[in-house]
Amino acid sequence: MWVSDCVIEFNAHHRPINLMPVVAGGVISAVLLAVVALITNRGAQLSSPTFLADEVHQSAAVALLLAAPSIAFAVLAARVPVPALRITMGLATAMMLAGAGLAWSGFRYLFSPAGVEIRSLGFRLRSIPAREIKTYAIERWNRLGCYGIRGVGNRRAYVWGNRGVRIQTTEGEVFLGHSQPEKIVRDLDLVVRDRTLHDKF
């Protein structure tokens, strides 16, 4: 409606169309959504002195796919004469580079007797206590479901490919992407086994 009004104003009164609020609103909303997704539903940090396994799931192809357009955005941002639009395009470029860095670094899964921790770029994204793990199985991820950190609330996915393991927990479900999901199942078997032994003794 705002854009339509601007077009009418341009045609009727020759007022220039200012797209800055729309572009800025979209970029700021995306940044806020990313922050909310990162800081909510992380769970408590697990306390375990030892790790049973350490797996990494990343994608150089997705990283390059995100990094390539960011170069074009950076060039455009440098040439745009409007300072506000330059800042907005700079923020968009920074977001794409951050996504590329996330894909290149990947998701790191730390398995311990206390459960599973999911990290990326040194930041703890999610903790799954061992006592909350109900079932898990190898499944395929829908390519149309996009990649990265997906989902809200009690359903989350950490994926850069189309294979992984879906974990059903008492709080919901978590999908861990990995090119060799058999390794994730093996590591989860260790977590559940240690939890079972701990419960017995």
Q: What is the CATH number of the domain that holds 175?
A: 2.30.29.30
CA dist., res. 178 & res. 173, Å (int)? 16
The pLDDT of residue 154 = 82
In a domain, 102, yes or no: no
Closest CA to 194 of 138, 133, 139, 136: 133
In a domain, 179, yes or no: yes
In a domain, 26, yes or no: no
User: Tens digits of per-residue pLDDT, 92-147?
Assistant: 888 888 889 999 999 999 999 999 999 998 889 999 999 999 999 999 988 666 78
In a domain, 31, yes or no: no
In a domain, 81, yes or no: no
Question: Residue 197 has which token pair?
Answer: 């032994």
Domain total for the chain? 1
The pLDDT of residue 78 = 84
The pLDDT of residue 15 = 80
The pLDDT of residue 19 = 66
CA dist., res. 123 & res. 34, Å (int)? 14
Count CB neighbours of 116 within 10 A.
28
Contact 177, 57 (CB under 8 A): yes
Question: Residue 172 has which token pair?
Answer: 């919901």
Contact 54, 106 (CB under 8 A): no
- Structural domain including 114 reads 43-58+107-201
What are the strands, taking DSSP E only, across 21-147? 53-57, 107-112, 115-120, 123-129, 133-140
In a domain, 53, yes or no: yes
In a domain, 17, yes or no: no
In a domain, 122, yes or no: yes
Residues (pLDDT < 50) of the chain are 201
